[in-house]
Amino acid sequence: MAGRAYWDGHIRLSLISFPVRLYPAITDTEKIMLHKIQRSTGKRIHYQNVTDEQKVVPPKDIVKGYEYEKGQYVPVEDAELKALQAQSEHTIDLVQFTDMHDIDPIYFDRPFFVTPEGKLAEEAFITLRDALRESKKIALGQITIAQRERIAAIKPCGKGLILETLRYNREIRRQSEYFDDIPENKKISREQIELAEQLIKKKTKAFDPSTFKDTYQEGLQEIIDAKLHDRKPKIISPAKQTGKVINIMDALKRSLGEKAKPPKKTAAKKKAAPRKKKKAG
């Protein structure tokens, strides 16, 4: 049974409008949360809202502000922020459709399950779902969620829909700042590329997220359990990386189970025997 909806409103496509609910598709409930405590007493550390002069400020006297100079702020009231929020606060207007591969994965932010709200919304909901599925398109619009207006991408997901918020272009750093120094046309041997392709093919299989383990969380749980039961934790130390530079070709061959050819030995030049001096006759 689904819990409380994170957002509820309407999806609108031209003259068609129907109510929906959004539920977070990801959860942090399985993640172990650590709190700050005082070492000597084990008591929880709490924080207060204080000024630079360490004066405690009551919640009703706290307002957001923009720092336009060091230590100088322009206050912005909640009512002013509320007025900025567009109609997308309660309506997702679908204004465009696009192919899935047209959106770079770097833009995807956070997924939400979308469900119809009530029986009356099911027909329109299923119509949109099936139309997107058959046309292999993604619907684009905007949504205000958690007081932030985001781009929304909607696509079929099982029997329902999934909405993924997208980042704006200004939020993405320019790749040239990081990739400019990487050579574009560095010559790599064809054999080396083919060996890499063979290794990729050998390790290719359907994605199964259950095969990937969060070793950090599992290790942290083991430490906590050991402390609670007054025993030593069973920690598996990760293999140490030697950092040794290896021959890429040999490494690829070993990865594929092939024997690496030993390096060719260069024939050592024989030293010429010293000439014997002729005895004076």
The SS3 assignment for 84 reads helix
Q: What percent of the chain has pLDDT over 90?
A: 54
Asked if the structure places residue 183 within a domain, the reply is no
Please determine, for residue 2, whether its predicted confidence score (pLDDT) is greater than 80.
no
Asked if the structure places residue 130 within a domain, the reply is yes
Are the CB atoms for 151 and 140 separated by under 8 Å?
A: yes
Closest CA to 157 of 204, 216, 112, 199: 112
Q: Taking residues 248-276, report their average pLDDT.
A: 64
Asked if the structure places residue 239 within a domain, the reply is no
Structural domain tally of the chain? 1
Q: What would the two tokens of residue 90 be?
A: 């309660």
Q: One-letter amino acid identity for 82?
A: K
Q: What is the pLDDT of residues 3-22, one digit of tens each?
A: 789 999 999 998 899 999 99
CA 13-14-19 angle, to 5 degrees, is 40
Asked if the structure places residue 15 within a domain, the reply is yes
For 117, the domain range is 7-35+82-171
Q: What is the pLDDT of residues 56-115, one digit of tens each?
A: 999 999 999 999 999 999 999 888 887 777 656 789 999 999 998 899 999 999 999 999
* Pick from 70-74, 194-198, 201-205, 234-238: least confident: 234-238
Give the span between the Cα atoms of 165 and 88, in whole angstroms. Answer: 13
Asked if the structure places residue 49 within a domain, the reply is no
Q: What is the pLDDT of residues 155-179, one digit of tens each?
A: 999 999 999 999 999 999 999 999 9
Asked if the structure places residue 73 within a domain, the reply is no
For the whole model, what pTM was predicted?
0.74
The SS3 assignment for 161 reads strand
β-bridge partners, 66: 74
Q: What would the two tokens of residue 267 be?
A: 């024939």
pLDDT-based confidence at residue 43 (cuts at 50, 70, 90): very high
CB burial of 156-166 (b: ≥16 within 10 Å; e: otherwise) equals: bbeeebbbbbb
Give the span between the Cα atoms of 76 and 69, in whole angstroms. Answer: 15
Closest CA to 250 of 242, 258, 241, 238: 258
Give the span between the Cα atoms of 163 and 40, in whole angstroms. Answer: 47
Dmax (CA) for the chain in angstroms is 126
Asked if the structure places residue 158 within a domain, the reply is yes
Domain of residue 117, CATH code: 2.40.290.10
Angle between helices 190-202 and 248-255 (to 10 degrees): 30
Q: How many C-beta atoms surround the C-beta of residue 231 within 10 A?
A: 9
Asked if the structure places residue 86 within a domain, the reply is yes
Which distant-in-sequence residues (6+ apart) come within 8 Å of 32 by Cβ? 217, 220, 221, 224
Q: Taking residues 40-58, report their average pLDDT.
A: 92
Are the CB atoms for 37 and 45 separated by under 8 Å?
A: yes
Q: How many C-beta atoms surround the C-beta of residue 91 within 10 A?
A: 16
* Sign of torsion over alpha carbons 49, 53, 54, 57: negative
Is residue 193 within a helix (H) or strand (E), and if so which, with residue range? helix 190-202
Q: What is the pLDDT of residues 100-155, one digit of tens each?
A: 889 999 999 999 999 999 899 999 999 999 999 999 999 999 999 888 889 999 99
Q: One-letter amino acid identity for 13?
A: L
Please determine, for residue 271, whether its predicted confidence score (pLDDT) is greater than 60.
no
pLDDT-based confidence at residue 1 (cuts at 50, 70, 90): low
